Structures are given as C-alpha cells and as structure tokens.
Amino acid sequence: MDFAPVIEGFGVVLQPQNFLFCLLGVIVGMTIGVLPGLGPAATIAILLPLTYTMEPVTAIIMLAGIFYGAIYGGTVTAVLLKLPGETSSAITALDGYPMGQKGQAGKALGIGALGSFLGGTIAIIALTMVAPIIAGWALRFGPPEYAALTLLGILLVATISNGNMLKALVAAAAGLLLAVIGRDGFTGELRYTAGNLELSDGLQFVPIAMGVFGLAEILYNLEKRHLAQPKPIKVDKVLPSGQDLKQSSGPMARGGILGFFLGILPGGGATVSSMVSYGLEKRISKDPKRFGKGAIEGVAGPETANNAAATSSFIPLLTLGIPANATMAVMFGALMIQGIAPGPQLVESNPDLFWGVVNSMYIGNLILLVLAIPMIGLFVRILYVRSTILAPITLLIVCMGAFTISNRFFEVMVVIVFGVLGYLMKKFGFDPAPLVLAFVLGALLEDNFRRALMMFEGDISQVAGRPITLTLLAVFLLVLILPVVLKMITRHKNLNPLSDSSTETEETHVR
C-alpha cells in the first residue's frame, strides 16, 4: 500500500480552515448529542444548507466531526439522566446511570470518553488499511453488481432496523416510491407528479431529511415535554483508576473490533454494535448479575463499539457509494450537493478529500478525548435548557435552511409535510431511517437495474455469467428467507412444547 496519499491527507486536515471546522464539528456534535432527541442525522440534516458555500473537504470534515461528536455526547445524558441523547447510548444507560446513582458518574463518563477514543482509533486504522482494498475490488462492479448490492443494502437496513421488520419494509417501500417521482432519466417522461411542475425534477433529499429527522424530532420532543425530567446526578472525579482500566481493557478491545465489522454492514451502525457488545460482555462475564446494576464493563464495551461502528460506517459510503445508516445517507446527500459522487473512483479521483476526511477522524477523536472531560460542566448546564426555548430556534433554522436550498417556498412545504410524516411514523412505531435510505438508494437501484437490462438486451438470465451478482443475490435471498424460517421453527416449538419431554418419557419407559 502506498502511504504517500495518507501522509498528504494529514497536510489537508491540518490546514487552519479544515482544522478549525473539525474542532467546530466535534463541539457542535457533542453539544447536540447531549440534548435528548436530536441525534447526528437530524443535526447534519439541519446544518446541510450551511455547507453550500464551503469547500467540499471542509464541509465533509465538519459533518464527520458532528457525527462522532454526537455519538459521545449522548453518553452524558445516558449517565446523568438515563435519557440517551442519541439512540446508540441507550445501552450505556443500563449501567452508566446505576453507576451515577452510586456516586460513580465521573468514572462512567471518563471510561465512556476513553472507550470512544479507542473505538474510533481502532476503526480509523482499520479503515485506512481496508478502504483502498475495497475500493479497488469494487472497480470490477458493473450495473448488475451495483443493482444487486443496492437491493441487498435496502433489505439489510429494513431487516436490522430498530423495531418491527414489517413496518421497516413498509417504510423502505415508501422511500422507493418517493425516489421515482419526477422526470424519467431514460425517457424524459414525467412520473407521479400529479401535474405539479414543482415535482418535475423530483423531490430533493435535503428537505426530506430535514423534515423526517429535524422537524419530526422537534414535534415528538415537544409532545413529551410534560413528562417530568430527572435532575442530573452530581459528577465526581472523572479520571478512572488503574483497576477500572484493567476491568475495561478487555471489553474495549472486543467492542472496538466488533463495532468495526458491524458498522460496515448496511443497517448495522452504532446502535446495533452497542447492543451486541453489551450482550457479549454479559454472556462472558463471571458474574452477569452485576450488569444493569452498575458494571463498568457495560459502559466500556458499548461505548467503544458504537464509536468504532460510527467510524467504519464511512467505508461503504466512501468506497461503494452505499450509505450504511441514516446519518450516512445524509452524508451521501452532502457529498452529492458538493458535486462529489462517492464510490470506488473517489480514492483515485479525489484523494485529498478521501484521505483528508479519513485523517480528520484521527484529529477529531483526539479533540473529543481532550474536550470531553473539561466540557462536562457545560453539558450539565445545557440539560437545564427547556425544550420550549430550543424548539422555536431549531424550527427557524430548519425553515431558513430549507428556503435557501433553491429559494423556493415549495422546499419549506416539503419539510413541513415530511416533518409531520416523520412525527407520525415515530408515534406509531415506524423507523424513519429505512424510508430515507431507500429514497437515497432508490435512484441508484433503478438506474443500475435498467442499465443492466440494456446490457443483457432484456435477457435477465445472462446474470448467471456474473458470479459477484449471483453471490449478492444469494445473500439477498438468504437474508429475506432466514427470518421467516427461524420464525416458523420457533412457532413449531411453541405449538409442540411437550414433544421433547414426551419422547424422553417414552425412552425412559422402554428402559
């Protein structure tokens, strides 16, 4: 591997402007992560209009900083209030909050900061080594391979998504339908516009993301404002002891590796990684009863895993052009706005951007570790700000940002419509992430599928001569069928609970 571009990438990120926006992104991300409800996807969607006049490298470095900054910021409220500011921090609350009640809140936050740094660093090193290899391999992809990969990505997002799988599939189907609104890229015919000329170029991603993630969160949080909020726990000394580090070293190492691999998967991401890490640590623990009552391993493992996953989720985005989760879908939109098409060509065509963004994560994680402890006092004060004050300010920023997209009031209306839709989805148990990801991937799926049909001259059987496509389609079928088979097996066992015991009785009788 040629390390010259990697070293040059450090020169890019250490330019004063890029370094400043990296610092700004991390601080904004940590601050937003502390506020319950507004996660990185909503924050990045709201702030996207601010990046229109920025240099592409600077914009993506700032947005990346917001992402992993918010992942750690959610830990503060999870420990102090048992209210995760970000969904991936919900697992941290299981043991972080009991630690706080025991007077160990500082220890939990310190281990969380250290785990976040180690998890991110492990994933960045692996990303540096693996991403160019994946990009080189992906250069062999043609339209059939990309169509199959996109289809698999949509299914994985719906399958691994939080909540009900059927609801996730419905949301993904709605996203695919929204993606075909507008002018057909091959024939020029208008589709599903209902005679509205505003829709002739289709729906734009940014107002949809701002509505579904930003406005929907505001509405949902305002509905919950009447609920009593617990007072933050007092924070004691933050630096962990040698014994704490010894107990946490194993969970951190396992969480970093686990998070890296799960973060690459579409639909995996930080939340799934933290859940799997927590389950693993509880299973291998000598005393699993400690978990849920203030076990430091229950903070160290998930916190390391979710930051490792947050970092590794950049791999499919930058090397394949496939966003692995909702936040990466917003990042995908940010790249497209800047005129940059993420994919296997990015490493060669835009090495400054690719390695500048990757290396900014090294710097950003170090900034995160340095600032996490001194800023805890500020974060505790932020927790006292009422949602009725924050909501109007955020709403004003959302509406102004939507209008600046194309200086049309139509975009503001799109934000409002999808804000209400996103609110209703959250209220009735539909995860909005599959809708947004399917909308982003829908255009890629249609474009590559139709190009594949043109390559095959309409004869779909020619896919048999493309082993990569066949492999991806086989995995697609496996992911689609496996949950149904497992559910049928479970149902059969539940219907015949006495079958095993009756067999054992018969064998005993014979003996």
Q: Is 243 exposed, middle or buried (0-12, 13-18, 19+ CB in 10 A)?
A: exposed
Tell me what pLDDT residue 441 has: 80
Q: How far apart are CA 61 and CA 415, in angstroms?
A: 26
Kindly tell me if the per-residue pLDDT of 154 is higher than 80.
no
* Bridge pairing between strands 190-191 and 182-183: antiparallel
Q: Are 262 and 276 in contact (CB under 8 A)?
A: yes
Output 135 or 423, whichever has higher pLDDT.
Answer: 423
Would you kindly state where each structural domain of the chain is located, as residue ranges? 4-491
How confident is the model over 186-224, as pLDDT tens digits?
787 888 888 888 888 888 877 887 788 778 877 887 776
Cβ count near 279 (within 10 Å): 14
Q: What is the mean pLDDT of residues 21-41?
A: 78
pLDDT band at residue 421 using 50, 70 and 90 as cut-offs: very high
pLDDT band at residue 20 using 50, 70 and 90 as cut-offs: very high
Exposure string for 415-437, b = 16+ CB within 10 A, e = fewer: bbebbebbbebbeeebbbbbbbb
Average pLDDT along the chain = 79
Q: How many CA atoms lie within 13 A of 356 on its CB side?
A: 24
In the chain, % of residues over pLDDT 90 = 2
Kindly tell me if the per-residue pLDDT of 239 is higher than 50.
yes
**Least confident span in 144-153, 371-380, 497-506:** 497-506
Output 504 or 285, whichever has higher pLDDT.
Answer: 285
Q: Is 384 exposed, middle or buried (0-12, 13-18, 19+ CB in 10 A)?
A: exposed
How confident is the model over 77-101, as pLDDT tens digits?
777 766 665 666 767 877 888 887 7
Tell me what pLDDT residue 510 has: 47
Tell me what pLDDT residue 19 has: 92
How confident is the model over 45-57, as pLDDT tens digits?
777 777 878 888 8
Residue 337 Cα to chain centre, angstroms? 20
Q: How far apart are CA 173 and CA 45, in angstroms?
A: 22
Kindly tell me if the per-residue pLDDT of 146 is higher than 70.
yes
Q: What is the mean pLDDT of residues 329-339?
A: 82
Q: What is the mean pLDDT of residues 331-356?
A: 82
> One-letter amino acid identity for 39?
G
How confident is the model over 478-492, as pLDDT tens digits?
877 877 787 788 777
CA 504 to each of CA 405, 490, 493: distance values in angstroms, whole numbers, following the listed order: 70, 20, 16
Q: What is the mean pLDDT of residues 451-469?
A: 83
